[in-house]
Amino acid sequence: MNISRHEQRALHVLALGGRILHQREDGPKIISVTCVTREGMILSDFDMAIFSRLRRKQLIESRSGSPYRISKRGRLSVRAQLDNRGA
């Protein structure tokens, strides 16, 4: 599976305990997303396009309205990096 550099960065943050906070309109449509590390820092280059690609590839999931987290498929797809510190 082809995963871009920005998608990999977001998956690494999520694998280390981060989450994706989302806001919805009155209906089911998501209007904004924010990727937050476990330390509370915000991943600046994360946007709706990356979120949509991760969701379409089923690399992230949300259960009963909670923040999006990495799925089992996402944990298997993320590449290990020696210098990864989550931010």
Residues 9-67: pLDDT tens digits?
999 999 999 999 999 989 889 999 999 999 999 999 999 999 999 999 999 999 988 99
Q: Is residue 84 part of a domain?
A: no
pLDDT in the model for residue 79: 79
Confidence of residue 82 (pLDDT cuts 50, 70, 90): low
- The domain of 46 spans 5-72
Structurally, the chain folds into a number of domains equal to 1
Q: Is residue 87 part of a domain?
A: no
Higher pLDDT, 54 or 87: 54
Q: Is residue 46 part of a domain?
A: yes
Q: Is residue 86 part of a domain?
A: no
CA atoms 9, 12, 18, 21: torsion sign: positive
pLDDT in the model for residue 84: 56
Q: Which long-range contacts (CB under 8 A, 24 or more apart) does 18-26 make?
A: 18/43, 18/86, 19/67, 19/68, 19/69, 20/46, 20/51, 20/60, 20/67, 20/68, 20/69, 21/67, 22/51, 22/62, 22/67, 22/68
Q: Are 55 and 5 in contact (CB under 8 A)?
A: no
Q: Is residue 83 part of a domain?
A: no
Instruction: Determine the Cα–Cα distance for residues 36 and 22; give it in Å rounded to an integer.
Output: 11
